[in-house]
Structure formats: C-alpha cells, structure tokens
C-alpha cells in the first residue's frame, strides 16, 4: 500500500530521525511513504484570516498532487498535519477560499478537497490496526511508563482534525499499549507547549512545559512521546524534564527496525 | 470599511454570538501574560475599540493553541479575533514584531526549522 | 353567483403599519362576486364580528373573506361568527396578510400589493365554495398517559378525580420518574419522596387509574376521541398477582453487577430488582440480559427462595390493545451524555459528577446512604466546585442551545444543603448568569450567598485537571475580578443540561405530534395553547414540552388534565368535513391513494358504475370520512385526478393560483 507523503521542513533537517524511523516502520508494517515530488513548506501555522490565500497555496499544491496520484496524503509533524487538514477543510467547505485559491493555482482541474489527509498515527490505527501492530512487535517495550504528549495542533479544532476526542484522546495511549508499554494518562497532555512563543519568550514556554512535565511525572511517567519537533524542543528545555522521544523512534524500536534506519 | 468591520471580515467571526461566559479566559494557557484577556477581545470588537485591541500585547502572546476555539460554547472563536487584529497590525508598514536581524542570537543548535517558520508567519507580514 | 363580503383587519398596527388596509378593501371591491368590503382595527373583537354580522344581513352575503392573521389563529373564530349569523361556516376563507405578509415585509407598497393578491386568491376560492356539513364521531371516555413521572401521575390523578378512566404506561419497572431520584426540592427544601410517594400511592389505589409499568406504547391508530393503542407489556418474569414484594429474591440473587439505573450507575443492583424500595408496583422484574438463568440456563435461585411461587421464567411479552379518547405525553427528560465535554474530566475522575448523581449521593437511600463522600476513595470532600451551564446554552454541536432552566435553583439548593450539613466544606459555584424567576426563587438563591456563605463566581470553568494526589484542579474565569483562578477541589459537580427522554421522537411519530429540533414536543400555540399538541386529542405534560421545574410541571399536568376532561366530557365530536372523496367515473382502482394515506382511511370496493350508459363493475376507492383528516396526500397522488378534497377541490386551488398569476 502506497501513500503520498508530506515530510515538512523540519523532518528534512532537525527531525530527520522522526522521518527515518517512520519510513522504516512503515515498510515493516507493509506500507510505503512516497514523498511528494514538489512539496513546499506549509508555513508551520495555519493562516486564520479569511482573506489569507497566498499563504495557503503551498498546502493546496501538496493536496492537489496527492489527488493527481489518487493517494491519501500522510504527514507526521503535528503542525503540517494541522495546516494541511485545515486548508483541505477550507477547500472543501469555504467557497470563497476555494475559488480564489484555484484562481491563483490554475490547475488542470480545480481542487476542491478531494484528498484525504491522514496523520501517520491514523494510518497505524485505521489502516494497519493496533491489533496487527501488536502482532508485529518483536521488542515489546514491557514495563515502560510512557506519557503521550499530544499538544494542541494534533487535536484541535476537533471538528476539523477529526483525529480523536480533543479533550480525552486515546490514540497515542492505544499506540503505547500496542508496543507493549504502559500509557500514563495526565491532564495536560492536550495543553500547549508554548509553540513558537519560545523564540521570543522562552520563559513563557518553559513555564508551560514545566506544568506538563510535573503533571506527567506526578502520574509516574518515565518519558514522553510526541509527534511534533517543536513540542519536543520545548519540552526538552524544562529543568529535570523527562526524556522526550518521537513516537516513531519507539515504534521502530519495538518493530526491531531501529538499527540502520538513520 | 471601518476597523470594526475589517476585524469581523478578516476573522469571519460574529462577536455578537458571545454570551460572555468567560470560558475562553478560563482555558487560555497564556492568560497571565495578556494585557487584554481573551473574553475581552470580543467586547473590544463589539464596542468598536479596535485601536486599543491593535495596540495590545496579547496578540504577541497568543499561542494559536485553539483551546479557546475548541471550548467556546458559542463558537465565537476569540483566537480568530485576535489574529485578525494582528493581521491589521503586521500588514501596516513597520508593524512586524520580528526582524531577521533579531534572530541569530535566539537560535540554538537544536532549534527546529518549524519554529522559525511559525514565528515568521505569526509575527511578520 | 356568490355574494361575497371582504373584511380587512388592521390587527392594531401589526398589519396596518405595513399594509395599506383601505387600499386592500378598495381593490377587493373590484373583484367578481364581491358586494361589500371594509376594514376594521380588530376584526376578531366583538365589535369586529358584529360588523361582519351586520354586513351578512344587510348585503345578504353568501361567502366571507377575512384578510387577517393565520387561519391557525382565527379561522375557527370567524367560522363560528359566520354560523352565528346564519352562514355555513365553510363559506369563510382567510387571507393571511399578517404572518405571510405584513410581518415579513418592510416596504408598504410591496406588502400592500401582496395583500391585495392574497385577498384576490381567497375571493376566487370562495366563489367556488359550497356549504359543507360536519359529521359526528364518538368519544371513548378513557385517557392514556404516556410516562409515569410526576407529570404523568398528576395528570392521571386529575383526570381520574373528574370521573374518567385513565391508563398510565410507564417504561421502567416503577412509576415515580425523575422526582423519585431527587433528595430535596426547591425552594422549600421538603423531601422529594415525602411529597411524591403519597401521590404514587394515590395513583396506584385509584379505582379509575390503571398502571402498566415495564410497558411501552407500540402502535397508535385512530384520531381524536377514538384512538386505538397497542401497549407492549414486557415480560416481568414475575407474576404480579402472586408476588408479595418481600424482597428475598433480590437479596439472594447472585448476579449483582449491573449498574443501577435508579442510582445513575453509582452502585450496582441485582438481576431481579425493583428500582427503589418505594417502587410501585412493589413487584420486581428480571433483567434478562443480566440474569444467569436466562444467560446460562443454570441458577434459578429466585424461584427457589420465592415463597409465593411468583417467579415465572416462561412469561412472555403481552400486547394489550385499548381504545382511548385522548392521549397525554409525559415522557420527561434525562441529562445529556458528557462524553463531548471531557475538559471537565467527567470520564477521567470519579469525583467529577453530575448534579443528578449528587442527588443520589445526598439521598439517605442512595449509594452512600446520604453521606457526602468522594466516590473514588470514600473521603469527605472539603472543597466542592459547582459548574453551571454544562452543555446548556451551547450553540456549537456539542451541547444544547437552550437554557435547562432548573440548574440555577437546584445548584443553590445543593450548595445550601451541603453548607448546612457540613459547615467546614467550602462551596464555590461558577455561573454565567443566575436565573431565578419564580416565586421565592431569588430569595432562595440569595440565602445561599448571604446566610450560607456559598462562594458565587461569575465565569465559566475551562478545565478540570485531575492531580496525582487525587484532587481536582479547577481552572476558571472570575470575570468580575478579571482573573483566571485555580481552585484545588475534592469534588466537582456539573450542572448538566437536560434533554427530552430518548424514545420521545418515536412516540411523537406514532402520534403524528410535531417535535422540534431539540426533541421537545411542539405545543399548538406557545402562549394560548401550551398543553395541546397541534394534533387533535394529543396533550403535553411536563418536560417533554420544554425544560421546567416541579411546580411548573404540576401546573402543566393539571392544565393538560383539564383539556382532556373537556374532551372526554363530550359525547360526540364534530368531524372535519374537508375530507377526500373519489369520483367513481375517474377512479381506476390503482391503489396508489391507499398506499400514501397516513390514516388508513382508504379502502376499495367493487361497485357497479354507469359510465355514459355503459354499466360495468369497477374497483373504486372509498374514503372513511371518520378517519380522513383532509391532508390531501391522496389527491396529489391520484394519477387520474379522481380524488378530490372537499373545501380544497382541485378547481378551487387552480382558481386561487389563477387569481395570484393574473
């Protein structure tokens, strides 16, 4: 099974491991991530303004390319996932944005939200299935107590992301269970890490990450997993912070494909 | 179009749907850093006080985490209003909150590209 | 040729401010058949009706057109008026120039032009009207009440006290409803059970009342005065005649792991159970999903211990068919599910509870025997936070757009009771607005603040975060102080929105009673006919019509009973003469009309027909005038144009359309 794949800027640079472990795991699970030929950066933040068109075009281009290939579009980074799903929702439901974006793009056939955007985790849950995943695990992470950190962009707005219950998600917890480890549920797993604020206001982000870190620790977690390079960066800045891993690293480890993946 | 209408148009939000419950301010993780609080974004637009809204510090403190958007019982989306005010500011000459010159000392070895990209989009035209 | 009088109503300024009523009258005078036209401030008033009467006499009128409000409002008024002055009531037509015209237009010229056209259409119709005679139908002097809560019980008692037979159909094993789950009631703080159980006993003992518990309405046919209803009496597996209600079976039942519906799942019940000790009837039912005997064939403990020999595993559902003259819906409410509101951590912590769950905790017969304790660890809470409007007043898809109406008052009650019994417990209430319209209601709420020291904070809660130490960090707004505050609480109580009971949509469909987007049943008129459904013979009692508290429910229950009594007191009802009939020369016996008729009013017979001198036997549609409600579905379905509705004939409708298009 082949999916179109949108890696995003950071996975080509600072988060190469997030990407490499995902590809290796995908092959082990029997699907392939086929990188889009001409992807451009999504911008990291979804442009909220109703009159912002140009800043949405890179996403439309990626969505249209996947449509041409007739494939679902998979992404790994929480931010890319957020931007792509929201732009796709605009192209499906907001006539004004759809019309104006298509006027700019001059595609052979106008794009109207036909592509299905999936987070890699959705592929694991809905296509592979956690039961199958569990069967393919060769190095179960038995005994590890792992706190899933969702952050904000994976889940919200719930109506558009449609990934999981935005207030009480289970996706990463089920994932952790499938790898043989024990999920630690704590209340700040869907609260923001500070995001881009850490560039100019590092203390603000640090405060927020401290709350997240303390809460997870308090419930007995030994480490975090996340899907987002920025979440990981911010969480890593906390004092006495728990180690933070990309979920794909643990996945590759459990599937026995970690060695040689990088 | 006056400034009030401009905010309403850019944000796509009808501030009159607000029932003033304050759930946005109850849920905002950046609340303490904000000079104008999330529930006030709405009343500033209602009363047309866009000048004050456009001068607020809050727009640079908002994390775009969508907690206020997700939990608002009236679908008012205060975060969108603030973003519209920010748009009005950065679209003006000299309105940028971040310049290229500022960046090098802020970058450390681990800093993900995503952070620069997001900050640029958020703080600059 | 008709002699038509046209009467244009100002409706105060409702019509006259937007429609030039003089012009409408003036233009009407030019229409064929019109011999008189006039306008008046309030045509429905006594003086207005007298004007109509005088014109009928003076101009020898044969038909009337009243240009006024919707026929739903005053068609009956003007028909009666016509009859009083010697005219057949069906010679009256209403041109709706208020709802269809003045209320929805702003421009006077445009509105006037439209009013003239509407009047013209009505005149064209009256020109083809013929006098119709209403028939009569019988009234079965028995009422059905669906739902055995306080609304249903009160309605049934009031009807029965007037001397009429009433049956109550209740879905659960006992009557009593939500009120039986409550501890104390506002604003007097009297014990709910103390005032409810006597009424339950009265209903059970009343010679005119028959109660079917553990039963559901399955099918309804017929019409006002003559409904036929199938009631499914679910198999109780216990013989009601033999059971003494000793309770030994419940004690000995080995299957005790089913969440108790009555205690909102806070504790468990046995497979054979009565919902609560004061249940009426005091006869248990066997929950066959939970019963070991039904699941595995082994067990039979209840049968062995029952001295009365009342256990009957072989009992089957029974269908009871009964006739009723009137039906009252009193299906009540439930609280909404909170799975879409997990920012309040309801599914994440046992110590986040709904207000109805708190009622059970506070109740001496409840799962904690009335002790206020945390369900997680049994500890006494010291800090309690109440959150108002959870799921109410929400215009997003998660909740309900309406105010649930009862929460402000019951929260004040809970807060006060807790502060009274446990003075060392801090109580904080987060509210958006405190709504206390009602006799002694605001005084009650103020007592909570002023005398009991309940801390009211204006602002909503954004998140409840369970902490590793078992406490709950409540993060909320204080809009007066303009602060975000955090309270470390031991227990959080959510004032959860209420919604009509599940299944009410199904019942509404069976009754052809209208229902709104929130599943509340619609009243015939929101102000003037609040306890009647638009469907004749169907009445509304309690929360099924809209959120309301106990005093209001009891008032409405009484009002619904009065309407039922008024109906049952009649021996005959006049039927609607605007029924369908088939032209036997055009009918080809295709059966299409019978298929679309929602009332089952059409049958077929073979009849000898004389078609231009040729006599032959044909299959012809026959309409039962008593069943036909004049909906017109058959007339538009009939491929040969044989079906026609009296008073709304094809010719009349075409004449109206022609008049509009002229």
- Note the pLDDT of residue C628: 86
Chain A interface test: which of C399, C463, C492 (most A C-beta within 10 Å) = C463
Cα distances from A25 to residues A18, A202, A248, A258, C505, in angstroms, run 11, 34, 8, 8, 49
Residue B22, chain C, CB below 8 Å: the answer is yes
- Fold classification of C334-499 (topology level): FAD/NAD(P)-binding domain (3.50.50)
Residues A86 and A150 in one domain: no
Q: Looking at beta carbons, which residues of chain C come within 8 Å of A185?
A: 348
Residues A175 and A116 in one domain: no
What confidence category does residue B95 fall into, taking pLDDT thresholds of 50, 70 and 90? confident
- Which of A70, A91, A120 is where one domain is finished? A120
Q: 3-class secondary structure for C421-460?
A: HCCCCEEEEEECCCCCCCCCHHHHHHHHHHCCCCEEEECC
Contact: B70, A166; criterion CB under 8 Å: yes
- Note the pLDDT of residue B74: 95
Task: Indicate where chain B has its CATH 1.10.1060.10 domain(s).
Answer: 3-92
Separation CA C54–CA B28 (nearest Å): 72
For residue A98, what are the domain limits?
2-120
Question: Does a structural domain hold residue A261?
Answer: no
Separation CA C503–CA C490 (nearest Å): 36
Kindly tell me the number of DSSP H helices and DSSP E strands found in chain A. Answer: 12, 8
Cα of C352 to nearest chain A Cα, Å: 14
Q: How many domains does chain A have?
A: 2
Residues A87 and A193 in one domain: no
- Note the pLDDT of residue C183: 97
Across C345-359, average pLDDT: 97
Separation CA C341–CA A165 (nearest Å): 9
C593-609 pLDDT per residue, tens: 999 987 788 999 998 98
- Note the pLDDT of residue A120: 98
Is a pLDDT exceeding 90 seen at residue C627? no
Cα of B30 to nearest chain C Cα, Å: 10
Contact: B73, C395; criterion CB under 8 Å: yes
- Which of A99, A120, A141 is where one domain is finished? A120
Do C185 and C193 form a contact (C-beta atoms < 8 A)?
A: no
What confidence category does residue C290 fall into, taking pLDDT thresholds of 50, 70 and 90? very high
Cis ω for the linkage preceding C187 (within 30 of 0): yes
Chain C interface test: which of B16, B20, B22, B29 (most C C-beta within 10 Å) = B22
- The answer to whether C4-126 and C142-234+317-332+501-568 have equal CATH topology is no
- Fold classification of B3-92 (topology level): Fumarate Reductase Iron-sulfur Protein; Chain B, domain 2 (1.10.1060)
Contact: C462, B74; criterion CB under 8 Å: no
Stretch among A158-162, C132-136, C143-147, C464-468 having the lowest mean pLDDT: C132-136
Across A51-64, average pLDDT: 96
- Note the pLDDT of residue C33: 96
Question: Does a structural domain hold residue A125?
Answer: no
- Note the pLDDT of residue C72: 86
C384-432 pLDDT per residue, tens: 999 999 999 999 889 999 999 999 999 999 999 999 999 999 999 999 9
Q: Which of residues 99-118 of B touch A (CB under 8 A)?
A: 103, 106, 110-118
Separation CA C311–CA B30 (nearest Å): 64
Across C227-231, average pLDDT: 97
Cα of C565 to nearest chain B Cα, Å: 43
What confidence category does residue C302 fall into, taking pLDDT thresholds of 50, 70 and 90? very high
Residue boundaries of the structural domains of chain C: 4-126, 142-234+317-332+501-568, 248-305, 334-499, 580-646
What confidence category does residue C613 fall into, taking pLDDT thresholds of 50, 70 and 90? confident
Across C438-447, average pLDDT: 97
pTM (2 d.p.): 0.90
Is a pLDDT exceeding 90 seen at residue B124? no
**H or E stretch at C16:** none
Is a pLDDT exceeding 90 seen at residue C1? no
- Number of residues in chain C: 662
- Note the pLDDT of residue B66: 96
Cα of C260 to nearest chain A Cα, Å: 26
Architecture of domain C142-234+317-332+501-568: 3-Layer(bba) Sandwich (3.50)
Q: Which of A159, A165, A220 sits opposite C342 (nearest CB)?
A: A165
Using a pLDDT cut of 90, give the percent of chain C over it.
93
- Note the pLDDT of residue A239: 86
Q: Looking at beta carbons, which residues of chain C come within 8 Å of A218?
A: 467-469
C157-174 pLDDT per residue, tens: 999 999 999 999 999 999
Residues A103 and A137 in one domain: no
Q: What is the CATH number of domain C580-646?
A: 3.30.70.3270
A115-173 pLDDT per residue, tens: 999 999 999 999 999 999 999 999 999 999 999 999 999 999 999 999 999 999 999 99
State the greatest distance between any 2 C-alpha atoms of chain C, in Å, as a whole number: 99
Separation CA A67–CA A34 (nearest Å): 13
- Note the pLDDT of residue A123: 98
The CATH number of residue A50's host domain is 1.20.1050.140
Neighbouring subunits of A (3+ Cβ pairs under 8 A): B, C
Given CATH 1.10.3470, say whether it is the number of domain C4-126. no
Separation CA A229–CA B118 (nearest Å): 12
Across C283-289, average pLDDT: 97
What confidence category does residue C240 fall into, taking pLDDT thresholds of 50, 70 and 90? very high
- Note the pLDDT of residue C534: 87
C177-198 pLDDT per residue, tens: 999 999 999 999 999 999 999 9
Separation CA A25–CA A19 (nearest Å): 10
Mean pLDDT (chain C) is 96
Residues 6+ apart with CB under 8 A from A138: A254, A255, A256
Q: Looking at beta carbons, which residues of chain B come within 8 Å of C428?
A: none
CB-count exposure of residue C185 (10 Å: 0-12, 13-18, 19+): buried
Angle at C507 between CA C503 and CA C513, to 5 degrees: 130
Nearest CA in chain C to A184: C468
Residue A8, chain B, CB below 8 Å: the answer is yes
State the distance between the two ends of chain A, measured CA to CA, in whole angstroms.
23
Across A31-49, average pLDDT: 94
Chain B interface test: which of A39, A49, A85, A166 (most B C-beta within 10 Å) = A49
- Note the pLDDT of residue A246: 98
Neighbour count for residue A143 (Cβ, 10 Å): 9
Contact: C396, B75; criterion CB under 8 Å: yes
Structure tokens at A55: 């800043």
Residues A152 and A249 in one domain: yes
Residue A152, chain B, CB below 8 Å: the answer is yes
Q: What is the DSSP letter of B105?
A: G
Mean pLDDT (chain A) is 96
Is a pLDDT exceeding 80 seen at residue C626? no
- Note the pLDDT of residue C78: 97
Contact: A168, C342; criterion CB under 8 Å: yes
B16-41 pLDDT per residue, tens: 999 999 999 999 999 999 999 999 99
Residue B27, chain C, CB below 8 Å: the answer is yes
Contact: A77, B114; criterion CB under 8 Å: yes
Cα of C351 to nearest chain B Cα, Å: 21
What confidence category does residue B93 fall into, taking pLDDT thresholds of 50, 70 and 90? confident
Cα of C414 to nearest chain A Cα, Å: 28
Mean pLDDT (chain B) is 94
- Which of A62, A87, A120 is where one domain is finished? A120
Angle at A136 between CA A133 and CA A140, to 5 degrees: 90
Separation CA A132–CA C484 (nearest Å): 46
Chain B interface test: which of A89, A150, A163, A196 (most B C-beta within 10 Å) = A196
Question: Does a structural domain hold residue A260?
Answer: no
Is a pLDDT exceeding 80 seen at residue C129? yes
Q: Which of C389, C395, C482 sits opposite B75 (nearest CB)?
A: C395
Do C531 and C559 form a contact (C-beta atoms < 8 A)?
A: yes
The CATH number of residue A244's host domain is 3.40.50.1860
- Note the pLDDT of residue A260: 86
- Note the pLDDT of residue C222: 87
Separation CA C215–CA C235 (nearest Å): 9
């Amino acid at each position: 099974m082949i999916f179109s794949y949108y890696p995003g800027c950071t996975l080509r640079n600072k988060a190469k491991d997030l990407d490499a472990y995902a590809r290796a795991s995908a092959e082990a699970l029997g699907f392939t991530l086929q990188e889009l030929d001409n992807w451009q950066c999504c911008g990291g933040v979804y442009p909220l303004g109703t009159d912002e068109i140009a800043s949405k075009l890179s996403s439309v281009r990626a969505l249209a390319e996947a449509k041409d290939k007739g494939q679902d579009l998979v992404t790994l980074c929480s931010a890319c996932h957020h931007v792509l799903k929201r732009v796709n929702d605009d192209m499906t439901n907001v006539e004004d944005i759809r019309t104006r974006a298509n006027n700019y793009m001059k595609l052979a056939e106008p794009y109207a939200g036909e592509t299905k955007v999936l987070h890699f985790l959705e592929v694991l849950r809905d296509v592979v299935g956690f039961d199958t995943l569990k069967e393919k695990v060769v190095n179960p992470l038995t005994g590890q107590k792992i706190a899933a950190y969702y952050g904000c962009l994976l889940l919200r707005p719930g109506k558009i992301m449609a990934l999981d219950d935005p207030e009480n998600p289970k996706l990463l917890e089920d994932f952790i269970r499938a790898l043989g480890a024990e999920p630690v549920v704590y209340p700040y797993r869907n609260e923001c890490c500070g995001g881009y604020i850490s560039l100019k206001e590092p203390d603000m982000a640090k405060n927020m990450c401290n709350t997240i870190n303390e809460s997870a620790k308090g419930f007995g977690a030994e480490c975090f997993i996340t899907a987002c390079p920025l979440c990981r960066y911010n969480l890593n800045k906390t004092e006495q912070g728990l180690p933070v891993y990309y979920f794909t690293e643990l996945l590759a480890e459990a599937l026995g494909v970690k060695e040689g993946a990088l | 179009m006056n400034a009030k209408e401009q905010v309403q148009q850019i944000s796509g939000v009808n501030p009159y749907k607000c029932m003033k419950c304050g759930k946005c301010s109850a849920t905002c993780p950046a609340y303490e850093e904000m000079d104008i609080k999330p529930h006030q974004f709405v009343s500033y637009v209602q009363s047309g006080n866009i000048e004050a809204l456009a001068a607020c510090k809050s727009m640079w403190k908002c994390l775009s985490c969508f907690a206020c958007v997700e939990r608002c019982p009236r679908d008012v989306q205060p975060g969108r209003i603030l973003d519209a005010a920010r748009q009005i500011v950065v679209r003006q000459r000299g309105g940028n909150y971040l310049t290229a010159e500022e960046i090098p000392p802020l970058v450390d070895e681990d800093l993900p590209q995503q952070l620069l990209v997001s900050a640029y989009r958020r703080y600059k035209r | 040729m008709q002699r038509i009088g046209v009467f244009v109503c100002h409706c105060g300024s409702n019509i006259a401010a937007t429609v030039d009523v003089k012009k409408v009258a003036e233009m009407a005078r030019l229409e064929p058949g019109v011999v008189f036209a006039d306008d008046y401030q309030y045509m429905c008033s006594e003086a207005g009706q007298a004007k109509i009467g005088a014109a009928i006499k003076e101009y020898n009128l044969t038909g009337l057109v009243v240009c006024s409000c919707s026929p739903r409002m005053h068609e009956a008024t003007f028909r009666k008026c016509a009859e009083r002055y010697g005219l057949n009531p069906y010679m009256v037509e209403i041109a709706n120039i208020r709802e269809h015209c003045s209320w929805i237009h702003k421009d006077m010229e445009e509105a006037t032009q439209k009013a003239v056209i509407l009047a013209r259409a009505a005149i064209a119709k009256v020109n083809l009207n013929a006098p119709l005679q209403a028939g009569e139908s019988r009234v079965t002097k028995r009422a059905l009440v669906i739902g055995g809560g306080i609304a249903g019980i009160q309605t049934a008692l009031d009807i029965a006290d007037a001397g009429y037979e009433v049956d109550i159909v209740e879905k659960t094993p006992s009557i009593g409803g939500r009120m039986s789950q409550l501890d104390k009631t506002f604003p007097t703080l009297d014990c709910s059970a103390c005032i409810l159980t006597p009424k339950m006993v009265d209903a059970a003992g009343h010679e005119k009342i028959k109660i079917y518990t553990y039963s559901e309405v399955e099918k309804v046919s017929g019409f006002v005065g003559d409904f036929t209803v199938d009631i499914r009496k679910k198999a109780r597996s216990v013989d009601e005649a033999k059971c003494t209600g000793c309770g030994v079976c419940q004690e000995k039942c080995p299957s005790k792991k089913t969440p108790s519906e009555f205690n909102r799942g806070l504790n468990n019940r046995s497979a054979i159970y009565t919902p609560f000790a004061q249940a009426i009837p005091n006869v248990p039912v066997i929950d066959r999903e939970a019963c070991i005997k039904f699941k595995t064939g082994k067990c039979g403990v209840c049968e062995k211990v029952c001295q009365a020999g009342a256990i009957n595993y072989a009992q089957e559902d029974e269908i009871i068919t009964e006739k009723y003259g009137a039906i009252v819906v009193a299906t009540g409410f439930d609280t909404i599910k909170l799975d879409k509101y997990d920012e309040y951590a309801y599914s994440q912590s046992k110590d986040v509870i709904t207000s109805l769950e708190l009622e059970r905790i506070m109740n001496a017969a409840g799962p904690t025997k009335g002790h206020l304790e945390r369900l997680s660890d049994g500890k006494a809470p010291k800090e309690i936070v109440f959150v108002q409007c959870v799921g109410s007043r929400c215009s997003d898809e998660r909740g309900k757009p309406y105010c649930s109406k009862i929460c402000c008052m019951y929260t004040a009650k809970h807060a006060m009771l807790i502060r009274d019994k446990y003075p060392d417990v801090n109580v904080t209430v987060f509210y958006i607005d405190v709504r206390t319209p009602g006799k002694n209601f605001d005084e009650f709420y103020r007592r909570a603040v002023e005398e009991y020291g309940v801390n009211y904070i204006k602002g909503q809660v954004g998140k409840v975060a369970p902490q590793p130490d078992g406490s709950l960090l409540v993060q909320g707004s204080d809009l007066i102080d303009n602060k975000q505050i955090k309270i470390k609480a031991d227990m959080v109580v959510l004032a959860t929105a209420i919604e009509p009971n599940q299944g009410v949509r199904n019942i509404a469909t069976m009754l052809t009673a209208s229902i709104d987007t929130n599943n509340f049943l619609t009243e015939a008129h929101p102000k003037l006919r609040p306890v009647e459904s638009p469907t004749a013979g169907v009445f509304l009692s309690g929360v099924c019509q809209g959120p309301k508290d106990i005093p209001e429910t009891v008032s409405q229950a009484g009002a619904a009973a009065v309407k039922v009594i008024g109906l049952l007191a009649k021996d005959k009802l006049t039927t609607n003469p605007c029924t369908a009939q088939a032209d036997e020369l055009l009918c080809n016996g295709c059966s299409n009309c019978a298929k679309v008729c929602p009332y089952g009013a059409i049958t077929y017979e073979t009849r000898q027909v004389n078609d231009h001198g040729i006599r032959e036997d044909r299959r012809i549609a026959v309409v039962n005038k008593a069943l036909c409600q004049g909906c017109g579905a058959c007339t538009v379905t009939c491929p040969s144009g044989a079906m026609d509705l009296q008073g709304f004939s094809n010719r009349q409708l075409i004449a109206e359309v022609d008049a509009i298009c002229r």
